[in-house]
């Protein structure tokens, strides 16, 4: 069941990727960001991605044009009021999500489902910022959103079963593979992934091996498509660190999920990964 109109809040890597995936599935998308220039830049980037898919023969010319026409910028949250679904993909700061969901609750129709793309924050807490907790859920895409098939559909304590089923069908209509999970710290994927990153950071910190060696071993011996340091650079070291902090706090300081200081130092140095031109590896423009 395709939603006729979907709003996406946040035009960064995840927000623009989600908007592209939805537009390719046949739904209209309103992409909002507090910075109008950022929205226009994101839409131009999505257009370029669609053009490349057409050049590779993965998208017909007609489908490419139609997908582009289905994405429009929004300069205010009020423009999302008539959407069937609004997906929040803003930065991982709870105070920002709190303010956004309070505003969305006021300006959207009572029938509108509000979803958060958070990777680790409590969906139950976010739902509590609204008067419609039964229509609030997690919809966690993975980077790059147009390509990665898995989407976590997270049920908060007050989320209605009807909302969960609706989102499950919506994700299926995107051509992706939904998995329903409960509102626990890190959900499924980020909970499983913490040791992958954290133990690699400890090995690096103990000078047992370099980041390149660890990545190479994990790819060759472990059959991972990307090593832990390559993945951190792709996701963003700041985002990865924030998620680790959130999961660690969510499990009340369980040492299994304790963050490593070196990841924090990388973040403090502005070495955030690909988006900053360098992280554990250097990247050309």
Task: Dump pLDDT digits (tens) for 83-118.
Answer: 999 999 998 899 999 999 999 999 999 999 999 999
Which residue shows structure tokens 């370029």? 48
* Domain boundary residue, one of 136, 152, 182: 182
Q: Return d(Cα 223, Cα 280) in angstroms, integer.
A: 21
The answer to whether residue 49 sits within a structural domain is: yes
* Closest to 63 (Cα-Cα) out of 32, 20, 4: 20
Please classify residue 150 by burial: count the beta carbons closer than 10 Å to its beta carbon, then call 0-12 exposed, 13-18 middle and 19+ buried.
middle
47 with 68: CB under 8 angstroms? yes
The answer to whether residue 22 sits within a structural domain is: yes
Task: Dump pLDDT digits (tens) for 50-86.
Answer: 999 999 999 999 999 999 999 999 999 999 999 999 9
Same domain, 164 and 68: yes
180 with 151: CB under 8 angstroms? no
Same domain, 109 and 140: yes
Total structural domains in the chain? 2
The answer to whether residue 76 sits within a structural domain is: yes
Same domain, 86 and 176: yes
* Closest to 240 (Cα-Cα) out of 167, 109, 142, 151: 142
Reading the block at residue 231, the tokens are: 């993945």
Q: Return d(Cα 232, Cα 41) in angstroms, integer.
A: 24
The DSSP output letter for 239 is H
The DSSP output letter for 49 is H
Q: Return d(Cα 51, Cα 81) in angstroms, integer.
A: 30
Same domain, 149 and 204: no
- For the segment 167-195, the average pLDDT, to the nearest whole number, is 96
The answer to whether residue 150 sits within a structural domain is: yes
The answer to whether residue 260 sits within a structural domain is: yes
Evaluate if residue 2 carries a pLDDT over 90.
Answer: no
* Domain boundary residue, one of 166, 182, 198: 182
Evaluate if residue 3 carries a pLDDT over 80.
Answer: no
| Residues tagged active-site | 119, 140, 152, 190
Say what the pLDDT of residue 53 is.
96
> What pLDDT band is residue 284 in, cutting at 50, 70 and 90?
confident
Domain that holds residue 119: 5-182
The answer to whether residue 281 sits within a structural domain is: no
* Domain boundary residue, one of 182, 202, 232: 182
158 with 114: CB under 8 angstroms? no
The answer to whether residue 221 sits within a structural domain is: yes
């Amino acid at each position: 069941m395709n939603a006729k109109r979907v709003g996406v809040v946040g035009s960064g890597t995840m927000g623009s990727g989600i908007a592209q995936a939805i537009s390719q599935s046949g739904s209209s998308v309103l992409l909002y960001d507090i910075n109008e220039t950022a929205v226009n830049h994101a839409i131009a980037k999505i257009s370029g991605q669609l053009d490349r898919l057409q050049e590779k023969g993965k998208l017909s010319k007609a489908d490419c044009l139609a997908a582009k026409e289905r994405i429009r910028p929004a300069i205010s949250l009020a423009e999302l009021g008539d959407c069937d679904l609004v997906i929040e993909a803003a930065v991982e700061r709870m105070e920002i999500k709190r303010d956004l969901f309070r505003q969305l609750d006021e300006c959207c129709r009572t029938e509108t489902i509000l979803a958060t793309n958070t990777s680790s924050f409590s969906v139950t807490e976010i739902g509590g910022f609204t008067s419609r907790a039964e229509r609030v859920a997690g919809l966690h895409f993975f980077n790059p959103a147009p390509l990665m098939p898995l989407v976590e559909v997270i049920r908060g304590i007050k989320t209605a079963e009807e909302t969960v089923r609706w989102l499950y069908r919506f994700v299926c209509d995107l051509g992706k593979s939904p998995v329903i999970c409960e509102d626990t710290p890190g959900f499924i994927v980020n909970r499983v992934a913490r040791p992958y990153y954290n133990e690699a950071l400890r090995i690096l910190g103990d000078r047992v091996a370099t980041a390149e060696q660890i990545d190479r071993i994990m790819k060759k011996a472990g059959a991972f498509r990307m090593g832990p340091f390559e993945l951190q650079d792709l996701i963003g070291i700041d985002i990865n660190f924030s998620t680790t902090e959130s999961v660690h706090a969510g499990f009340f300081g369980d040492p299994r999920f304790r963050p490593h200081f070196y990841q924090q130092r990388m973040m403090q140095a502005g070495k955030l990964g690909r988006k900053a031109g360098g992280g554990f590896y250097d990247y050309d423009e």
